[in-house]
């Protein structure tokens, strides 16, 4: 599988992947502009099967969204996407990455932890719980 960087002006593949990876969720990427983001897609034989977004602010970088189609799961793709974002942030002089994951999304939590991410704090928003994680880039 190839992982390629995407232009922020052309995020149609990522919008479609987001809807396919999170069916039933309110679209989180539609109707938003992402000027401080870098996006990557993973393709299998030219077909997009996963993506990750990295938000670059002056003092902190954060993974804002990562998704892998069900048909491409359990082959290490999430880890490859996370490591791609970590390498990019490190090369651009960031020393720390942050993200948050729904606590019920155990597969995603395992993927981040397996890439060296550590728990930072628990945030409760109504009935939903989010675990904030961070990765020190060395």
Domain extent at residue 70: 2-136
CATH (domain of 30): 3.40.630.30
pLDDT at 6 (0 to 100):
85
Coil, strand or helix at 86: helix
| pTM of the full structure | 0.89
**Per-position DSSP letters for 44-70, written without gaps between them:** ETTEEEEEEEEEE-SS-EEEEEEEE-G
d(C-alpha 4, C-alpha 9), whole Å? 15
Domain count, the chain: 1
Residue with tokens 């990765």: 135
Of 32, 28, 68, whose CA–CA distance to 48 is shortest? 68
The pLDDT tens digits of the residues spanning 2-42 come to 998 887 666 788 888 888 988 877 666 654 566 678 999 99
d(C-alpha 54, C-alpha 56), whole Å? 6
């Amino acid at each position: 599988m190839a992982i390629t960087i995407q232009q922020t002006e052309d995020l149609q593949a990522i919008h479609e992947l987001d809807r396919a990876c999170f069916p039933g969720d309110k679209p989180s990427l539609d109707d938003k502009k992402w000027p401080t983001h870098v996006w990557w897609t993973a393709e299998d034989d030219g077909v997009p099967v996963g993506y990750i977004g990295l938000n670059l602010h002056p003092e902190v970088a954060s993974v804002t969204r990562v998704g892998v189609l069900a048909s491409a799961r359990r082959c290490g793709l999430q880890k490859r996407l996370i490591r791609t974002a970590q390498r990019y942030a490190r090369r651009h002089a960031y020393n720390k990455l942050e993200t948050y994951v729904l606590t019920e999304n155990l597969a995603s939590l395992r993927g981040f932890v397996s890439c060296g991410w550590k728990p930072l704090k628990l945030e409760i928003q109504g009935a939903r719980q989010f675990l904030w994680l961070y990765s020190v880039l060395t």
